[in-house]
Structure 1
Amino acid sequence: MNEDELLACEQTKQWLEEVVIRHDLCPFAALPFKVGRVGIYACFESSLIETSYFIRDEINRLFESDTEELETSLLVLSPNTISQFEMFLDFVDELNDGVEDSGLSDELQVVAFHPEFEFEGELKNARSHYTNRSPYPMIHLIRQESMAKAILAYGEDKTEDIPHRNIDFLESMDEQTFAQIRGYVELK
């Protein structure tokens, strides 16, 4: 990895620790992170084709690895390659189509994060967007088996409530704490 990619991985790790885990936005993230089973890999290639090859290789790495060593992967992508949010969503849709076409949809879940993530129908400055905002465009690869175990342990009803709980939490947060969260996402 080059220096920019190493910095992006470090900033992503800080965001994961200080935003996602610290504020319990994903109750499933703490344990695999604590025991070192979350891979954070960056690809700052200049083309979408090269980025697609990187993602394919990381999907292979995930499934070739034992779950006790690598349970989930965060793929940090170049903000210069996929900077516009709409373009990123199109790319993620194509990725999901590829996962389905390859027969992996029962084994792999793809979750998208982006610095400009916006939920359709929400105000541009809504805090709800920060449930899926990250310092870089990012693809989270999750093994369906791991997700099923986490849901079973956490409870299906509680799992379904996570997005609403997170939005309520962010909307009720004081300005100072929310500014800290924004600081991990809005890198300058």
Structure 2
Amino acid sequence: MQTANAEPFDPDRVERDVRRWLERAVIGLNLCPFAKAVYAKQQVRIVVSDATTERALLEQLGEEMAMLRDTPAEDIDTTLLVHPQVLQDFLDYNDFLDDADALVETMELDGVLQVASFHPHYQFAGTEADDAENLTNRAPWPILHLLREDSVDRAVAAYPEPDAIIERNVATMRELGAEGFRKLLVDDDA
């Protein structure tokens, strides 16, 4: 998996990496059974941030929350705010999630939007860095994923046994393994 600091910032390459991850891992491995429909309808907004500080990223996050709030779901259902130049350290990123959640409340969007998290070094509490379940939330770049609560509720209500998704994803990642996951995300054109 690409580490975010390995090369100079190229927003087009970052977006290609994220699209490849969406298509091959999130949709291709069915890690999120709700992603395929909104991606096919082009309702997924991918924003590659040029922020180099946490403050600038938080400001941009607020702008994206407002844009999503003010845009019909039929046009944009979800936003991926990719930030390749800030919060490369997972612990710093994880701490920043508190600021993101506080911003949701400050903007009175609690119950309207939620922030999901993906990072190249994602690690769930109580796991070792190389545990397979961490791969379920690993992406080629740090991402703040803005989701509409209504869309999540509808998707979960329509999906049989939504609690089984996590177990299935962990089993998929155990079978694939870290090396298989890395190969899945390799740029075939590079």
TM-score in same-fold range (> 0.5): yes
Letter of the structure 2 residue corresponding to residue 6 of structure 1: D
Give unpaired runs (5+ residues) of structure 1. Answer: none
Calculate the aligned-residue CA RMSD, in Å: 1.9
Note if contact 2:20-2:185 (Cα within 8 Å) is conserved in structure 1. no
Given the superposition, is the C-alpha separation of residues 67 and 85 from structure 1 closer, same or farther in structure 2, using an over 3 Å criterion? same
Q: Cα deviation per residue 1:150-179 (whole Å; 9 max; x = unaligned)?
A: 111113xx2122112100111123787444
Q: Give the match's secondary structure for 1:173.
A: helix
Q: Cα deviation per residue 1:20-56 (whole Å; 9 max; x = unaligned)?
A: 1000000000000001000000102211111111111
TM-score by length of 2: 0.88
Distance 2:157 2:121 in 1: 32
Q: Tell me, yes or no, if structure 1 residue 113 matches structure 2 residue 91.
A: no
TM-score by length of 1: 0.88
Q: Give the match's secondary structure for 2:10.
A: helix
Give the counterpart of 1:70 among 73, 76, 88: 76
Q: Give the match's secondary structure for 1:128.
A: helix
Equivalences, count: 180
Give unpaired runs (5+ residues) of structure 2. Answer: 1-8
Structure 1 residue 130, shift from structure 2 partner: 0.7
Cross-structure match for 1:36: 42
Letter of the structure 1 residue corresponding to residue 130 of structure 2: N
Residue pairs, 1:104-143, within 5 angstroms: 104-143=109-148
Q: Give the match's secondary structure for 1:39.
A: strand
Q: Cα deviation per residue 1:47-104 (whole Å; 9 max; x = unaligned)?
A: 11111111111111111111111000111002x3211000001111111122123321
Distance 1:36 1:9 in 2: 15
